[in-house]
Every structure is written in structure tokens, then in C-alpha cells.
């Protein structure tokens, strides 16, 4: 398995979703193997998510073949828990016409960040994770990401061979194989420094 030769690239562990919207059945990560995945995490009352992140996720969902790329939203609530409920999210999705599957991240039950958000080490919203066809994290980005770079990363992951390329959202888009022990792009801290969130 490719990932065993590249221990610095973790396979993303499963998310923990309490409710799914916009999909007839629950979705788990294992079922998405073989397709590139864009995971867009957001909160319905996050201005940057509404203005930039979610419209971009929708554009990606419209632009790519479902057989090659899956777009999944994850509602990762870490504030205003009392009003960002499932019913509120349902109304929000209806009004904005988001068409991709959206999971409600399981609350931690103590008013903190939701469970998957904590598990994945997300810094805030919007955050996006790109997974290659083996489920390995190839980008972990907090904040805005321009369409040209995101498109390029998606194109590389869809068309590329399965050997690990090193991709990031920074000025250069390197395809050299990651050296053993090379800095892992998908660490939140690393990404936030190198990917240059706007």
C-alpha cells in the first residue's frame, strides 16, 4: 500500500457525524476510497464560509465528475451552539441551495468544538482538507484558497499516479516525491504557515 511507504502522510481517520443532509444515506470515508475528496468544514454563521468557502465548494461540486471527486461538507460548530442547530442548518441549506452532502459533526456535549473538528485538529472555519484516492491528507488549509490553486491541486490529485506528490497551496506547486521525514503538509500548524491563508 502506498501509504505504508510514506508514513508522513496520514490516512484521515473517519469523521463522526450525527446527522446527514443532502444525501440519501450516511457517508463514511472508507466508501470514498478511489476518489479524490474535498472536505469543506464550516459553520452556518461564519461570514467567510458563507461568502467564500461554501460557494467555492459548490462550484467544485458542479465542475467535477462525481466518479472522480467527492465534495463533502461538515458543519463543525464550536460557538453559538444553541442557535446553530440541525433545524437551523436545514433551513440554511434550503435557502442557499447547497447541493452537496453535508454532515453535522457530532457535538462534544460540553459546548466545545465538535468531535471531528477536534480529532482533525482544525483551527477554525472555513477549513478544507483534500484527500487523495487512498484517503491520505494532501492539503489541510484554514481560510480562503483561490480557485486557481485549488483547481490545480484537484487536477493533480485526479490525474496523477498514486505515488505521493507533495502538494501545497503556496506559490509553488511541487510534485517532487516527499523525502523521508519531510515536513508534513497536512499538519495544521505547518499549513497555516506554508499555505499562506489569506
**Site residues, its own copies (CB under 8 A):** 45-47, 50-51, 56, 59-60, 62-65, 68, 80, 82-85, 87-88, 91-92, 95-96, 146-161, 165, 171-175
> In terms of CB distance, is 17 or 77 closer to its own copies?
77
In the complex, the smallest distance separating the C-beta of residue 172 from its own copies, rounded to whole angstroms, is: 5
Other CB atoms within 10 A of residue 173 CB: 14
> In terms of CB distance, is 15 or 38 closer to its own copies?
38
Q: Give the long-range contacts of residues 109-115, CB within 8 A, separation 24 or more.
A: 111/81, 112/78, 113/76, 113/77, 113/78, 114/75, 114/76, 114/77, 114/78, 115/16
Asked if 18 and 105 count as a contact pair (C-beta separation under 8 A), the reply is yes
In the complex, the smallest distance separating the C-beta of residue 161 from its own copies, rounded to whole angstroms, is: 6
In the complex, the smallest distance separating the C-beta of residue 14 from its own copies, rounded to whole angstroms, is: 27
DSSP 170: S
> In terms of CB distance, is 15 or 84 closer to its own copies?
84
> In terms of CB distance, is 16 or 68 closer to its own copies?
68
Q: Among the residues of the chain, which ranges form H helices?
A: 47-48, 54-63, 86-96, 115-120, 147-159, 188-194
In the complex, the smallest distance separating the C-beta of residue 7 from its own copies, rounded to whole angstroms, is: 22
Amino acid at each position: 500500500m502506498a501509504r505504508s511507504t510514506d508514513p508522513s502522510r496520514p490516512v484521515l481517520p473517519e469523521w463522526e457525524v450525527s446527522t446527514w443532509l443532502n444525501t440519501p444515506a450516511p457517508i463514511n470515508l472508507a466508501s470514498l476510497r478511489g476518489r479524490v475528496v474535498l472536505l469543506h468544514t464550516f459553520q452556518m454563521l461564519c461570514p467567510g464560509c458563507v461568502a467564500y468557502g461554501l460557494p467555492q465548494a459548490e462550484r467544485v461540486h458542479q465542475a467535477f465528475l462525481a466518479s472522480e471527486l467527492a465534495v463533502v461538507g461538515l458543519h463543525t460548530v464550536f460557538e453559538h451552539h444553541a442557535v446553530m442547530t440541525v433545524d437551523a442548518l436545514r433551513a440554511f441549506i434550503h435557502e442557499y441551495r447547497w447541493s452537496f452532502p453535508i454532515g453535522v459533526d457530532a457535538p462534544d456535549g460540553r459546548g466545545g468544538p465538535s468531535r471531528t473538528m477536534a480529532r482533525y485538529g482544525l483551527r477554525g472555519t472555513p477549513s478544507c482538507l483534500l484527500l487523495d484516492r487512498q484517503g491520505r491528507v494532501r492539503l489541510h488549509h484554514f481560510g480562503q484558497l483561490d480557485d486557481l490553486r485549488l483547481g490545480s491541486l484537484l487536477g493533480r490529485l485526479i490525474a496523477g499516479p498514486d505515488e505521493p506528490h507533495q502538494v501545497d497551496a503556496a506559490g509553488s506547486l511541487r510534485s517532487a516525491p516527499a523525502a523521508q521525514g519531510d515536513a508534513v503538509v497536512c499538519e495544521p500548524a505547518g499549513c497555516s504557515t506554508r499555505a499562506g491563508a489569506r
